[in-house]
Structure 1
Amino acid sequence: MDLQNPLDQLRPNHLPDPVGLWPPAIGWWLLALIGIALMVLVTVYSWRRWQKNRYRSEALLQARKIHADYQAHQSLHRLANESNELLKRVALHAFPANKVAGLSGASWCQFLADTGDMPDFLNHSAFNNHRYNPQIPLTPTHGTPDEMPANVYKLTRQWIKKHHA
């Protein structure tokens, strides 16, 4: 009798095929969908925010042009009137028209001071009714009269950037 080891009749071990990268598991599909959804939401949010604040960048560009025009013509009353006109247009865009349209003089300065958290607008002759009379010199609340155009430009830019509806 021939005694053979029964284990010798088994085939040798073989390894399974390596795990492939495709198709991914369901978890990766879910992660990809969540990532795409987040990108879409961030894009929509950014677009809406940009659209909502686009008027600010256009107003800042207009303020720069007004200041450059002042430097060419040196008319302080013209600078004050054009700056106020720009601020009024921005305010009409950002706030309800019935709240802004009728404001002038001290109430206009108070509105600018309140909505921009900038008390420098109060008693500043470039932003009240003195700007309409070229016979009355415009005087700054701070600094020298030579700094007046820079102050008007600075206050205009700051209010456009900082106002809150």
Structure 2
Amino acid sequence: MDPLAQLHDIQTPEPIGTFPLAIGWYLLIAIIVLLTVFLVRHIIKQKRLKKNQKQALSSLENAQTNQAIMGVLKWAALAYFPRQQVAHLHSSEFFDFLNNKLPVKKQLHFQSLSDNHFESLYQQQENDSASLKSAAHYWLTNALPNSSHPKNGGKHV
């Protein structure tokens, strides 16, 4: 008997498919998706913060009285910080809150710009609104947006 006659045809293995992938690929895909979602949310949050800052600065330009300037500051603070922290503040408490949200190096300059406008806001005489407006502008440009103090733990409503 011929030994070559006993040989069979070569059989190729089944082609390797692309799925199912190894678990490492699924982990890599999940990490990429999570990073993409985080990055997109971060970018959207930063755009909202910048938009609120620009809106506050625009409103500040139109404000003529000390009460209007304080209203812009209060609105901006409410837009960035939880309502429970800001809504009840007035006069020196509000000034202290705003001052504490500035970097330490910039607090002294804000104090000098605001003079005592926060204390005498509700008195009869109208103070010079130009210095209060410059203090408000200084606070809006240096304290906002501040990602370390996002409203409601990073969630905007």
The structure number with the bigger radius of gyration is: 1
Distance 1:88 1:134 in 2: 26
**TM-fit CA distance, 1:83:** 2.7
1:4 aligned partner: none
More off after superposition, 82-91 vs 51-60: 51-60
Q: 1:29 to 1:85 in 2, by over 3 A?
A: same
Give runs of aligned pairs for residues 6-155 of structure 1, distance below 5 A: 23=17, 29-50=22-43, 55-69=48-62, 75=64, 77=66, 80-91=69-80, 94-95=81-82, 97=84, 99-117=85-103, 118-119=106-107, 120-122=109-111, 124-125=113-114, 128-132=118-122, 135-138=126-129, 140=131, 149-155=133-139
Q: CA RMSD in A?
A: 4.1
Aligned length: 142
Q: Which amino acid aligns with 1:40?
A: V
**TM-fit CA distance, 1:78:** 6.0
Q: Secondary structure at the match of 2:114?
A: coil
Distance 2:99 2:38 in 1: 30
Distance 1:60 1:139 in 2: 20
**TM-fit CA distance, 1:61:** 2.6
Identity, % of aligned pairs? Answer: 15
2:8 aligned partner: none
When normalised by structure 2's length, the TM-score is 0.59
Extract unaligned runs of 5+ from structure 2: 5-11, 151-157
Deviations 1:63-110 (A, max 9, x none): 23214435xxxx25366234323233225xx2351x322211222111
Distance 1:38 1:112 in 2: 39
**Preserved CA contact (<8 Å) 1:67 1:153:** yes
**Preserved CA contact (<8 Å) 2:113 2:134:** no
Q: Which amino acid aligns with 1:137?
A: D
Greater relative contact order (Cα < 8 A, sep 6+): 2
Q: 1:46 to 1:25 in 2, by over 3 A?
A: closer
Q: Secondary structure at the match of 1:88?
A: helix
Extract unaligned runs of 5+ from structure 1: 1-9, 11-16, 141-147
Distance 1:114 1:157 in 2: 15
Matched, 1:164 2:154: no
When normalised by structure 1's length, the TM-score is 0.57
Structure 1 consecutive aligned stretches of length 4 or more whose deviation exceeds 6 Å: none
Distance 1:51 1:41 in 2: 15
